[in-house]
Chain A
Amino acid sequence: LIYCYRKPKTKRAKRFLEKREPKLKENTKNAMLIKGGNANLRVTEVLKDIYAVKKPFAVLYKKKNITRPFEDQTSLEFFSKKSDCSLFLFGSHNKKRPNNLIIGRMFDYHVLDMIELGIEKFVSLKDVKNSKCPEGTKPMLIFAGDMFDVNEEYRRLKSLLIDFFRGPSVPSIRLAGLEYVLHFTAVDGKIYMRSYKVLLKKSGCKIPRIELEEMGPSLDLVMRRTHLASDDLYKLSLKQPKALKPKKKKNISHDVFGTTYGRIHMQKQDLGKLQTRKMKGLKKRPAEKSAEDGGVSPKKSKSA
């Protein structure tokens, strides 16, 4: 809005532009789900299911777009700019790469990371005949497997998946509303994504016992090509403005045992003029006072 050569003429247009400009605390990332030129039924269903999970922070494009993200990223960037989406999921299918999903994210409307995954098995939302949780529930994310830490590509994939499925950042949650969990396991070069509905059962103590019920889309994925951002670009995108850092409170320190120590700075005090408790018994009587003076300044007697 600040760098707009054309000032918006209506309040609505101004609000629209203000929503899209870079901010200190950013909006929730939107995802765009795009079908490639030859997307088959399976890929389309995957996109529809992920859209259902990510609603309302997702845009599902209905038409097929004939592009190849790994060769040419301009059309993806154009879409991202138009719909203000920084995450994308592109589905396609051909003989060489069957059931292909490209998951990626943008920085400043340019492609940052892209990872191509192949769908080996897919169980859709409607195939599992269980009760579902409401739309827009913030899911719990769990990543199992040491591959997600050891391998650089898997690490980026983990970061991408967290970014994708995280949902809005909230200050507090209703404990009873923790219904949805997405579990990713990396084993044997495959990534198993499962979604479960969480049932909280009574247990002896305060913490409830968890029972899981299979629900929602489950995918068996295999990693294919990757297009990861260079280290310095990635570092640049991670940079947070200083204003977001929590301000340190000075003169407060904490003990190992949890005691909080504070430090107060005082001005120099004149100890002679301190207001202390008055002990009436210790008050100087007039006789004692004159004795102390020692007749140095006796009362002036009127000379006759």
Chain B
Amino acid sequence: MAAVRVEEVLAAAEEREAEKRRSVTVEKELELEFDLGNLLALDRNPPAAAGLRGAGPRREALLRALARDNTQLLVARLWELPAERAGGAGGPLVARLPEPAFRLPREKPPPRPRPPTRWEQFARLKGIRRRKRTSLVWDEQAKEWRRRWGYRRAGGDPARAWLAEVPAGADPQEDQFARLRREKRERVARNELNRLRNLARAHRAGTTVPAAPLHPTGHQSREELGHVTRVARVSTASLGRFQPRLPKEPAEPPSRSGGRKRRFEPLLGNLAAERSRQLELLRDMGSKKPVLDITRAVNKQLRQEEAEAAAAKGKKQSQRGKRGRRQQRPGRSSKKSGARRQQQQQRPAGGGTGGGRRKKA
């Protein structure tokens, strides 16, 4: 009887051992963090440092046990993903992975969108869209489909063209073959020039660092060189005051602000100018005429609003034109803002008349 019980106990113990060997559950203090897109698992539990200190097979066994537990958890997670059979019913079981979540730095910076070329701008303006051309063309002579260009093209090999017609208004003595060759060379050169110009424009648009044009590259435009010389002149310790001018350089026009934002006249300067200024001031204060001409101000405002509306509508179409006009404007814009400011101050007084006049106009 005791023997039977012992056998039972042993059988039970063996059963438990087998269970443990087959179990897929793992006990952990802290939950692991998973990134299934990268097949990554992060275990935050501090490992048993005591056991791992001593070198030798014990450490290896501990590490292997730890690795086994962590891998079990990771595989359990991976098995939970939606899986399907790839390639029909008998194919291998394939799990769909989510996007990798762990943020890793890129290899190269993300590509910058390049500005459109001159042709692209024009095409967008005119609404020209790209026509998809067929790669094969029917060749009547050869009675088969041939490539549009390249090896064995549809029109025959252009190098073997033995006939070149003299066009209607051309000189009969001119060599047509030479003309065709020259024109092709010119076309290729023009194409290459335009490509490089587009590239330079894109490069300039990309690097809007003002230091860029200051490097002497030999390919600078006239405006860039002017800008560079101006900057170079002013970059001395005395801000360019004692820099001699080059032989043909024109004298610097006096800047509006003289390098200062606010400027005050000296106290004891021109007596006559001071007197005339004071008398003018008294005259204006005494006169009954309003300083601000309402009609002019209102008309200016109307014109400005119309211009803004037109600019917003036809911005793309007349971009170049507007740019030209805008460059002439800076002097006038300050006056306009001054008029508007005064108008706002005087609005309660002159609002009625201004409104009335506006309706008439």
Contacts and interface: CB of A to CB of B under 8 A. Distances in A.
A141 to B, nearest CB: 5
A109 B106 CA distance: 11
Contact of B24 (A105, A166, A198, A205): A205
B104 A185 contact: no
A205 B43 CA distance: 25
Interface residues of B, number: 58
A178 B78 contact: yes
A207 B79 contact: yes
Contacts of A175: 78-79, 83, 92-95
B97 interface: yes
A145 B105 contact: no
Contacts of A86: 107-108
A6 to B, nearest CB: 11
A194 B202 CA distance: 50
A11 B93 CA distance: 39
A211 interface: yes
Contact of B109 (A22, A146, A212, A234): A22
Nearest to B59: A192
A208 B75 contact: yes
Nearest to B77: A207
A241 interface: yes
Interface residues of A, number: 74
Interface stretch (A23-31, A94-102, A259-267, A268-276): A23-31
Interface string B93-122: 111110110111111111100100000000
B47 A185 contact: yes
B106 A238 contact: yes
A108 interface: yes
Contacts of B43: 142-145
Contacts of B13: none
A148 B79 CA distance: 26
Interface string A203-243: 11111111110100000000000000000001011111100
Nearest to B206: A3
Interface in B25-68: 37-47, 49, 52-53, 60, 63-64, 66-68
A187 B66 CA distance: 13
Contacts of B106: 26, 107, 237-240
B74 A238 contact: no
Contacts of B114: 2
A187 B105 contact: no
Contacts of B40: 140-143, 162
B343 interface: no
B199 A3 contact: yes
A176 interface: yes
A188 B24 contact: no
B136 interface: no
Given A148-B42, A203-B22, A174 B86 contact: yes
A172 interface: yes
B70 interface: yes
Interface of A: 2-3, 5, 7, 21-24, 26-27, 29, 86, 105-109, 112, 138-146, 148-149, 159, 162-163, 166, 169-178, 181, 183, 185, 187-188, 192, 194, 196, 198, 200-212, 214, 234, 236-241, 246
8 nearest A-B residue pairs (beta carbon): A237-B105, A241-B110, A22-B108, A183-B67, A144-B43, A86-B107, A140-B39, A210-B72
19 contacts: A21-B111, A141-B38, A141-B41, A142-B40, A142-B42, A142-B74, A143-B41, A143-B42, A145-B47, A173-B39, A181-B74, A185-B47, A185-B66, A188-B49, A192-B63, A208-B75, A210-B71, A210-B75, A234-B105
